[in-house]
Amino acid sequence: MRHKIIAGNWKMHGSREQNSLLVSSIAAASHALSHVRLVLFPPFVYLDHVARLITQTPVGLGAQNVSQYDCGAYTGEIAASMLRDCGCDYVIVGHSERRQLFNETSASVAQKVLAALNAGLTPILCVGEMLTERERGLTESVVAAQLQSVVECVGAANVARIVVAYEPVWAIGTGKAATPEQVEVVHAFIRAFLASVDRVHGESVSILYGGSVKPDNAASFFARPCVDGVLIGGASLSAPDFLAIAHAT
Ligand code: PGA
C-alpha cells in the first residue's frame, strides 16, 4: 500500500543533547500528523537513544545503511537483524553518498536490499542520476539499471515490499531541488518500470522524492499525485522545518 512517508535522513549529524531536543519537538507534534508516516534516520550509535525518545509516539525509526551480510567476521558492519533488534522498521539503501564516497556498487546495494527484506525491514532504495548523466539524456537508463539489479536480486515477488526514493544526485545538499515537472517525469518512469516487473504490486510501491526538499518547496512536490513522500536531508535537522514539510502534505 502506498503511504505518505516523510523521512528525515540525519546523515552524520547529531549528539545526545541535540537529538533529545529535535526528537521531543517532532514527537510532540506527531500525533496531529497521523495521516503521514514520520520516520527518523539517525546515525547507528543513536538508534537506541532515538528509539527510546519515540516510544508511545507514531514516529518510526530507520537506519542509514546496513550490511549485506547476516552476521559474522565483518568488522565495523551492522546486520539487518541488529537494526530490527534496535527498533528499526526502515533502512536507507544505496544513498548516492554511499555509492559515490564509499564505493557501493549496484550489486552490493541489491544484496543490502535483500538482507533488509529478509530481516523484515522496509528498504528505502535510493536511485538517481548525476548531472552529467542527465545532461547526456541518460537519466532513465541510469535509474532503470539501478532498479533492475535490485529486482534481479530480490525477485519480482518482493518488489512491493520496497520503497523507492528518486534522488537526483545534483539536487542533494545543493539547495537546487529538481522541479516538480522533472520529478513527475522520472516518477512516472519508475512507476512504469515497477509495473512492468509486477503489474499489480508495482502500483502499490511508494515512490519518494529527495534532494533539497525545504518548507518552501515541499507543497509543490506533494501537489503531484505521483509523489508519495519525501526523503529530507538538511531540513530534517530542524524540527520546525521537518514539521513544516510534513504539514505541507
Ligand atoms: P538534502 O539531502 O535534503 O540535504 O538535499 C537529501 C538526501 O540526501 O536524502
**Complete DSSP assignment for 59-87:** -EEEES---SSSSSS-TT---HHHHHHTT
What residues contact 53, with CB distance under 8 A and at least 6 apart? 19, 20, 23, 24, 27
Instruction: Read off the amino acid at residue 188.
Output: A
Of 129, 133, 167, 187, catalytic: 167
Q: Tens place of pLDDT for every residue, the chain, 249 residues?
A: 788 999 999 999 999 999 999 999 999 999 999 899 999 999 999 999 999 999 999 999 999 999 999 999 999 999 999 999 999 999 999 999 999 999 999 999 999 999 999 999 999 999 999 999 999 999 999 999 999 999 999 999 999 999 999 999 999 999 999 999 999 999 999 999 999 999 888 899 999 999 999 999 999 999 999 999 999 999 999 999 999 999 999
> 229 alpha carbon to ligand 1 midpoint, in Å?
13
CB burial class (10 A; 0-12, 13-18, 19+) of residue 105? Answer: exposed
CA distance 239 to 217: 17
> Does the annotation mark 247 as catalytic?
no
For the Cβ of 215 lying below 6 angstroms from any atom of ligand 1, the answer is: no
Which atom of ligand 1 is nearest to 231's Cα?
Answer: 9
DSSP three-state, residue 140: helix
- Reported pTM: 0.97
Which 8-state DSSP code applies to residue 156?
A: G
